[in-house]
A and B are shown apart, each in its own frame.
Chain A
Amino acid sequence: MKFLPLILKNAFRKKTRTLLTIGSIVLPLLVICLLGTFLRALDRPDPAVTRGMFRLVTRHKVSLANFLPHAYLDKIRKLPGVVAATELDWFGGKYGDGSAKTIFSRFAVEPEAFFQVFDDAVILSGSPADWYADRAGCIVGKNIADKFGWKTGDKIVLRGDIWPVTLELNVRAIYQIPDGNAASLHFNRKYLEEASPQFGSTLGMVWTKARDGKAATSLIDTIDGMFENSSYPTKTETEKAFQMSFMSLVGNVKLLVTSIGVIIVFVILLIAANTMAMAARERVTEIAVMRTLGFPKGTILGLILGESVLVAVFGGLFGIAVFTLIEPTIKRGLMTTPLGTFASGFSLYPGILLFAFLVAVGVGLVAGVVPAVRSAQRSIVDGLRQVG
């Protein structure tokens, strides 16, 4: 510990360079924390299941863009183990100026059946009864309600594209799904059916609430088996697997995220190693003088390595502190985007923060090893000769 003041003074000998080095650790560390949190959110247990919600999603086997016959809904409802089932039909369309900022999920549903399947939804304002009573009514998730400043009684206009109709919807309730995403708008399918009659015989997805986990497992095979040889074969999966399938659209997300993380670590390693090499090169004579005074090689090695680790630790702690501060903001921001389902799993995971800190310490150690060993190994006479 008696060498700590010396290490500190050496570490901040060139303040601008040290602060830039710390900055070069902080920023990538933020990305590592973010990526790690994202991966952890992907891997977290299905929050619906943890609340006893065993929901299944049935869609066309080929893709989400293919419709299923509307008659499938009743067939699924009649299967043993099914508590309730509702359709969720992607409406698409545009809201406002149609820019990227105005994109959110819009589904036509059967209102009563929707709340039977999503009976864990919490109504924050308005009521389901108001929605049931108003054919042009809709409910909106809290996240998008907050984003667009909607409240019950507001009117929302959606201009259709798949279905060429314009819907004028009244906000009748605002809901929240505990531990989940609430960034969708749901309206009565009958309203769309009246405006666009050809919509009536099709559906996009069927969401089924199973009695329990065992029923959910067997229903997956039962439902798909039932429609296997039809013109409209289905693919049934758990709610989480369905959500994960969106991520797989962009490839092996975990591999991608991990690869980005590794590259980032390698880049900070190069930056930190370069800084430490510079710092050690500038002090060749000084280190030779210290060895002349009797500082053993091991102590010199420890001082240089300590300096490198200290800078990295500052970077690590600062990076973690900044991430801790901005994580809620990032989460809020993502909750209103298509990544909202995963963003709901965002949290300050101690394991991720510890991992990020260890990455910083590891970078400091590895970056400092070569300059430290070289400094300790260089002959004292050669070092002193550089005096001039």
Chain B
Amino acid sequence: MSRSGSPFMSETTAATNHIGLKREDYSGSKSTLCIGCGHDQITRWIIQAGYESGIDPYNVAKTSGIGCSSKTGAYFIDRGYGINSVHGRMPSVATGASVANRNLVVIAVSGDGDTASIGIGQFIHAVRRNTNMVYVVENNGVYGLTKGQFSATSEKGARLKSGDVNQYADIDLCQLALELGCGFVARSYSGDGKQMVALLRAAIAHRGFALIDAISPCVTFNNLPDSTKGFAWLREHNVTLHELGYVAPYESKHVEQEPGTALEVDMPDGSHIVVHKLGDSEHDPRDRKSAMAVLERDRNEPGHVYTGLLYYRPDTELPPLEELRRLPAKPLASFGAEELRPDRAAFDGILAQYR
């Protein structure tokens, strides 16, 4: 975490957050990823978001699959509970944990291989069920741990250090999620800490499935000057759709309002996403069609990477899985025999049908 300086850190002055914890209370073990890896930046933004939002670290479930990205669950929020499951199957494991204890804040970290290839089926069904989780894809367009093979998010024509050229069209996870009715869809870039933190905080506040497809460069295998998921390219071609802010219910709202330039999107828990329009972008994240149009533009203008909150729909329109299944506030995991086992009379009633 100490590998590159954070432009964001200097902005934080408070020593403790609103539940009295320090930033280091949200830290994790030392990263073993390559120096300069985009994933380590994202790790830092997750720590920052957790700290700023004052989430209870003991209630955090860090779920991941297999790959470089999936290792990062060990690098943040040590006081949370990590589960590094198997390749491509994290969404089901996370869903199981989420319904077993609905107080858990599920922060899932996956990669483009883990999500867009081996795990695409599970990803789709977790979106479809609207499992209450923050799902971060650390998307670098390449398999890192197996040393540099194309992933399904590499665009057609992409070239790797090995000289291989990708012949297939890429899978756009944001487009897919929108198609599936996901209520929170964002694309971001590991180097944009401010946007990442705002998105992560809003995603945590969102009840339901929240996707953050974070382009996260692989410095070792996919960082050529023309790698569209490389640092050099993103510095040039990252187009931020808007400047984002997140204001929690307990935070004082001092948004510098220039009339007509900021949009406040209410979240059901009383928090707000503040969207400052930038340049000529007319994108309204509450408009699904507008989000589709941005992604269409992204596809048709190769090289441009539009980042920001693509789509947000309050969960009141489609409740998260645990509400859909009418789960009690008390975790299923904490019920005892007396609350789960039908009494003798009820049991006799069950058996009576079979006499």
A, B in one complex: no
